[in-house]
Structure 1
Amino acid sequence: MKSTLFSTLATAFVFGGGLIGAAAQAETQSVFYQHLNSTAVIANPLLANDTLFIDTFTPERGALRQITTFTVGAGVTSFTGHAAWLVSTPADAGPRLVGVNIDLFDTSNTLIQSDSFAGVLAGFAHSTISGLLGPGTYTLVATGTGQRDSSLDISLTLAVPEPATYTMLLAGLGIVGYALRRRIGRGSAGAAPQS
């Protein structure tokens, strides 16, 4: 009976893993900036589970203003994002970027979302940005001041409502669990008590 239990569970997890793997075919589209003032347009639309990654490293000093325009494809309903930048202390020699702000605008230049500062850890400042986002064209604007070399990473991941495959997986695992519970219950009902 134990071998049947493990075989059934193994089949469910292998099948479920295949569904999850098929649903998670995401791509990362990267932009690499080498100047404080730069613009880029992402040619391919970002789809569900895709990530936009912006990587900046420059020895320039002064005002940061980077503008990244991208298009969101059908089916996307929201996004989550993170940013990290080096804020070495004024006495250090490492990169120092201060006053960072990240804003997301739609095509009519309406502010959709701004980042929220999350704190500093190990010389890196962190912020998060998230919200609702549907198909269309958007502009991500990063501003700040490079006091020495500047290092900034931003990532946005597009999300969709829970796919039907996950619901099917959970329902399938529930049925397997119910069947196993009934089978175990029948096996123990006819067993003699042990002393």
Structure 2
Amino acid sequence: MRSPTFVRWTGAAALAASLAGPALAETRSVTYTDLSASATVEEALGAGDNLFVDTFTTRHGALYQSTSFTLSERGDMNGLAGWIIDTADGQGPLLVGVNIDILDQWRSVVASDSFTGVLGGFGHSSFLGSLGPGSYTLVATGDAVRDASLDISLSFTQPIPEPETYAMMLGGLALLGAVARRRR
């Protein structure tokens, strides 16, 4: 026979968990108006959070921007970047030779973008990876032949559990079921 106290506590805990819902995602934005610039995102990012870097400048020359951030927990990262590539004889922004890397606290590259192509006057690249808790720096380089427009977005999610994790969870649930059945 189950204890009424245990049932009430379990019901209250389940109700509290269902009312709490998922944590709200935060988006941290950094805006650059110069080709050579750096910034630090003060608050740590976690699962569900996003980092958005927006650049627009009318200056020409070498692009070197570094954005430092901290992750509070291990997570998977999905990054996308887009920049304007107007024709060589055009008047609009023209940013070429773009490279985006994520460096760890020892300045080692832990993720790098892979160029995927040009579509409709925009260069696009993406990158994926898993990052542990710690400090990182997002570095964007390139050459602004004319005005430069570059957007980078990083999204962080909980890592997908390995199959062994599911097997362990199912084993634990079976054990709890056996204990509950035995108590009856």
Query: Aligned partners of 2:123, 2:93: CA distance in 1, in Å?
Result: 12
Q: Secondary structure at the match of 1:113?
A: strand
| TM-score when normalising by structure 2 | 0.75
Task: Extract structure 1 runs of 4+ deviating beyond 4 A.
Answer: none
Tell me, yes or no, if the aligned pair for 2:104 and 2:135 is still in contact at 8 Å.
Answer: yes
Q: In the alignment, what sits opposite 2:101?
A: 103
* Amino acid of the structure 2 residue aligned with 1:125: G
Paired residues for 1:76-95 under 5 Å = 76-95=74-93
Q: What is the identity percentage for the equivalent residue pairs of Structure 1 and Structure 2? A: 50
State the 1:145 CA deviation. Answer: 0.2
Cα distance per residue 1:145-179 (max 9 Å; x no partner): 0000000000000110359xxx9xxxxxxxxxxxx
Query: Aligned partners of 2:109, 2:154: CA distance in 1, in Å?
Result: 16
Q: In the alignment, what sits opposite 1:158?
A: 156
Query: Aligned partners of 1:158, 1:127: CA distance in 2, in Å?
Result: 17
State the 1:23 CA deviation. Answer: 2.1
Q: In the alignment, what sits opposite 1:128?
A: 126
Query: Aligned partners of 1:24, 1:54: CA distance in 2, in Å?
Result: 23
Q: Secondary structure at the match of 1:26?
A: coil
Number of equivalent positions: 145
* Amino acid of the structure 1 residue aligned with 2:54: D
Alignment root-mean-square deviation, CA: 1.9
Q: In the alignment, what sits opposite 2:40?
A: 41
Cα distance per residue 1:21-45 (max 9 Å; x no partner): 9326101000000000000000000
Query: Aligned partners of 2:159, 2:41: CA distance in 1, in Å?
Result: 24
Query: Aligned partners of 1:65, 1:161: CA distance in 2, in Å?
Result: 31
| TM-score when normalising by structure 1 | 0.71
* Amino acid of the structure 2 residue aligned with 1:27: E
Q: In the alignment, what sits opposite 2:51?
A: 52
State the 1:113 CA deviation. Answer: 1.0
Give the greater-gyration-radius structure (CA): 1
Query: Aligned partners of 2:91, 2:23: CA distance in 1, in Å?
Result: 41
Query: Aligned partners of 1:48, 1:156: CA distance in 2, in Å?
Result: 11
Q: In the alignment, what sits opposite 1:22?
A: 21
Query: Aligned partners of 2:68, 2:55: CA distance in 1, in Å?
Result: 16
- Structure 2's unaligned 5+ residue stretches are 1-16, 167-184
